[in-house]
Amino acid sequence: MKNSKIIIITMLVTLFSVVATTGCVNTGQVDITTTAPTTTAIYNPPTTSNSLVTTKPVVTTTPAPPITITTTPPATTPPSEPVVIDGEQLYREFKEDPEAAEAKYKGKTYLFKNVSIDDMVPLYKGTGTDWYARGGNVKFKPQYLINLEKVKIGVVVDVVGEVYGLFYDLLVIQNCDYTVIDDTDAVDRMQDTPFSFY
């Protein structure tokens, strides 16, 4: 019995020795060199002087952002029409409190509607600077003398002008432009000398 155990142990040791020498041990040479990672080579053809061979560079383009087109024009405010005001009422305000009226109205442009012209300064060719058309207690001085060309005593006009203030008990409106509304009762102006606007 003791001999059989020794035989079995001897056989096992021999078996392990054979397996160890043949199966687990690499008998070939071990390569310990390292390899560089794989790289990709880009081939650029050489440039030649041959005019038949041309190379074109590759251009990468990105699409442009979309263009937004609006068909609605930008909002704009139309020029406002002058405020309509009554000349005689304005004259009374200047008479009652000149300082308050000047602070409120002076330098502002208004529209005076349906003014009946009852007086005008005769026009003298080449002389004078105080031409005007008067309606009631309001003296309407033109911006340009030619603006008075169609205005006569007795006509009804709309006047756009800038408030100046009181002068010799008359309310003066300056830089005026006149639009004749009714000229059925118009009277020609008296002139001492022939007058021409041109």
Domain boundaries defined on the chain: 83-182
What is the tens place of the pLDDT at every residue in 137-163? 999 999 888 888 888 899 999 999 999
Q: Which amino acid is at 129?
A: T
Strands 138-142 and 170-182: parallel
pLDDT value at position 34?
A: 53
> How far apart are alpha carbons 173 and 138 in whole angstroms?
7
Prediction pTM value: 0.55
Strands (E), the chain: 83-84, 109-116, 119-120, 133-135, 138-142, 156-167, 170-182
What pLDDT is stored for residue 168 in this prediction? 87
Cα(153)–Cα(115) distance, rounded to whole angstroms? 11
Most confident range, picked from 52-61, 91-100, 148-157? 91-100
| Domain 83-182 fold | OB fold (Dihydrolipoamide Acetyltransferase, E2P) (2.40.50)
Cα distance from N-terminal residue to C-terminal residue, the chain: 156
Asked if 163 and 105 touch (Cβ cutoff 8 Å), the reply is: yes
Percent of all residues in the chain with a pLDDT value above 90, rounded to a whole number: 35
- Predicted pLDDT at 194: 47
Other beta carbons within 10 Å of 71: 4
- Element holding 8 (H helix, E strand): helix 2-22
Strand bridging mode 156-167 / 138-142:
unpaired
Distance CA 149, CA 161 (A): 17
